[in-house]
Every structure is written in C-alpha cells, then in structure tokens.
Amino acid sequence: MNRRQLFRSIAIGATALLLVGCLGDERTGEVQTSSLGANEATDYEYVVPYGTGNRLDGGEVIELMPPTLDVRVGESIRIVNDDTRDYMIGPFFVTAGQTLAMRFTHPGKLTGICLVNAGGEFTINVVA
C-alpha cells in the first residue's frame, strides 16, 4: 500500500469514527443543515487551494479556516477543496475536488478536527 492509499484509508476510517461521535466531534442542540444548490449564494465561503497538502507536508502552518465561526439560522457555508487531498474541516469531510455547501436550519454547535487550521479544530456556533 503506497502512502496515498494509506492516507485515504486512515481518512476514511477517521471519518467513519467522526460520524458516530468520536474524535472530538461535538454536536449540541438541534443543529441541522440542508444542502444548497450549485448556484445558490452563500454567506461564508472558504477555498482549500491546490497544493495545500504539499505545503502541510513541508511544515507550513496553514490558516484557511477561523477557529470559530458564528452563524445564524438560515445562513450558509460553502467549502471548495481545489487540492488533490481530502481534508477534515471541523464536522465536515471534504474530498479532493469536492464542494460542500449547506444551510444551517437549527441552532446548536458543531465542532471537529480541522486539518487546515493551525489550532487543529473548527467550531461553528449556530444561533437563532
């Protein structure tokens, strides 16, 4: 198994654990989300640029996401992964080349590990 396959296997396993509530993923309140259409405007947009994985491998500190994002019910987020590597970004697993877009529909808190934040964690506080 080469390094890329090993990383992908670890990422898939970590995602499975995260989805069942492990690895520090925290969801409080009635946080719910709904998917957005490709052309819908978003309130918060973040892009993981091509080459981010190489920068991380080189020891660079990456600050693409804030440690905490405060949003209101009805607001939305879009995360575009233009890199060739998959990433955990808080409560979300965003695969290479994928765009994740969703609207927050209920108040609460989402927290998870973040591989593109120097603090290693991304928290979203959703308020009414």
Find out whether 39 and 112 touch, Cβ atoms under 8 Å: no
Q: What is the DSSP string of 51-74?
A: THHHHHHTT-----S-SEEEEETT
Looking at residue 97, which CATH number applies to its domain? 2.60.40.420
pTM, two decimals, is: 0.71
The predicted pLDDT at position 21 comes to 32
Domain span at 105: 3-127
**What single letter denotes the amino acid at residue 63?**
E
Q: How do residues 71-120 score in pLDDT, each as one tens digit? A: 999 999 999 999 999 999 999 999 999 999 999 999 999 999 999 998 99
Q: Are strands 99-104 and 76-81 parallel, antiparallel or unpaired?
A: antiparallel
Q: Residue 125 corresponds to which tokens in the numbers above? A: 């506080």
Percent of the chain scoring above 70 in pLDDT? 70
Does an H or E element contain 26, and which? strand 26-29
Computed over every residue of the chain, the mean pLDDT equals 80
Which SS3 state, helix, strand or coil, does residue 81 take? strand
The predicted pLDDT at position 32 comes to 52
Q: What are phi and psi of 14, to 5 degrees?
A: -65, -40
> Please, what is the end-to-end C-alpha distance for the chain in angstroms?
47
Q: What is the count of structural domains for the chain?
A: 1
